[in-house]
């Protein structure tokens, strides 16, 4: 069974249209807030690639108007599924930007669960983009990690581990990174809802996710001053292995 879907989101970002364009239409920019490793060839017809957990999705740019509109569509899978993304930018007085986002396509298989995950996750990832532009303007991440733990259906257990990772109480607001191997920096909660816990430190944007098919994921965008990538990888893999 298949399902044609569409998710629409809108957010005001604390950056100019040029700055937002750099964050959504260049590999280093996207890597600084979204998942995996990303790359775009500029212009309509250009190739787009995203690699997450060793799997690469290919796409084609269908709209390229710098500072105004970016659109791309993934290659159709064997089962006919695909996804299309559109970003529309509108500059506002004072240097902010309204971003209107449309995510559409065709889902197959357990499409209801996929749609539930997308309808929640899309808006929260845009809030990650907001956090990136707020706390790390003009900078790109040195590296981005996407580490996966064992699927864990016990939501209460997962959330308790998430809070413990940053020494957070209830309601989660301010804490400290408590994962051995990472910088023990102060951590400010960006959002904590729907299985997502996003925090920002002096050197990192970190999001822990309990999502589709009970997956547990750690996303770490590291900026200058954070520990080296091999050390961070080891730290996250150890933490995921011990807790899930």
CATH number of the domain bearing residue 238: 3.30.310
**Sheet (strand 143-149) strand order:** 143-149, 216-222, 204-210, 196-200, 186-193, 174-176
Cβ-proximal residues to 194 (8 Å cutoff; 6+ apart), any chain: 120, 124
Cα separation, 64 vs 160, in Å, equals 43
Q: What is the pLDDT of residues 73-118, one digit of tens each?
A: 999 999 999 999 999 999 999 999 999 999 999 999 999 999 999 9
Q: Report the CATH number at residue 65.
A: 3.30.530.20
Do 33 and 124 touch, CB atoms closer than 8 A?
no
Whole-model pTM above 0.85?
Answer: yes
102: helix, strand or coil: strand
Domains identified in the chain, total number? 2
Last residue of a domain, one of 100, 135, 170: 135
User: Which domain does 157 fall in, by range?
Assistant: 143-243
Same domain, yes or no, for 108 and 156? no
Last residue of a domain, one of 135, 154, 184: 135
Do 101 and 56 touch, CB atoms closer than 8 A?
no
Same domain, yes or no, for 129 and 154? no
Give the pLDDT mean for 188-214: 98
Please state whether 85 falls in left (phi above 0), alpha (psi between -120 and 50) or beta: beta
Give first-to-last CA distance, the chain, whole Å: 32
Q: What is the pLDDT of residues 133-180, one digit of tens each?
A: 999 999 999 999 999 999 999 999 999 999 999 999 999 999 999 999
Same domain, yes or no, for 184 and 121? no
Same domain, yes or no, for 89 and 127? yes
> What pLDDT, on a 0 to 100 scale, did the predictor assign at position 66?
98
Last residue of a domain, one of 115, 135, 155: 135
Same domain, yes or no, for 183 and 68? no
Same domain, yes or no, for 39 and 95? yes
Beta strands in the chain (DSSP E): 2-13, 37-40, 47-52, 55-65, 69-74, 82-91, 97-108, 143-149, 174-176, 186-193, 196-200, 204-210, 216-222
> What pLDDT, on a 0 to 100 scale, did the predictor assign at position 1?
84
168: helix, strand or coil: coil
Same domain, yes or no, for 91 and 173? no
């Amino acid at each position: 069974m298949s399902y044609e879907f569409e998710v629409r989101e809108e957010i005001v970002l604390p950056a100019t249209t040029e700055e937002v364009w750099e964050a959504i239409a260049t590999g280093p920019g996207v890597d600084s807030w979204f998942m995996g490793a990303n790359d775009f060839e500029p212009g309509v017809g250009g190739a787009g690639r995203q690699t997450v957990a060793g799997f690469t999705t290919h796409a084609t740019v269908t709209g390229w108007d710098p500072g105004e509109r970016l659109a791309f569509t993934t290659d159709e899978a064997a089962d006919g599924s695909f996804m299309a993304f559109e970003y529309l930018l509108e500059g506002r007085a004072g240097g902010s930007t309204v971003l209107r986002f449309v995510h559409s396509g065709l889902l197959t298989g357990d499409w209801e669960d996929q749609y539930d995950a997308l309808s929640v996750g899309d808006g929260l990832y845009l809030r990650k983009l907001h956090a990136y532009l707020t706390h790390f303007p003009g900078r790109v991440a040195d590296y981005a990690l996407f580490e996966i733990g064992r699927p864990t259906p016990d939501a209460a257990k997962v959330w308790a581990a998430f809070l413990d990772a940053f020494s957070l109480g209830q309601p989660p607001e301010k804490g400290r990174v408590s994962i051995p191997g990472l910088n023990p920096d102060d951590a400010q909660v960006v959002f904590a809802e729907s299985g997502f816990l996003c925090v920002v430190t002096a050197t990192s944007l970190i999001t822990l996710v309990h999502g589709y098919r009970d997956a547990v994921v750690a996303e770490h965008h590291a900026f200058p001053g954070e520990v080296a990538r091999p050390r961070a990888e080891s730290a996250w893999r150890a933490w995921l292995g011990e807790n899930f």
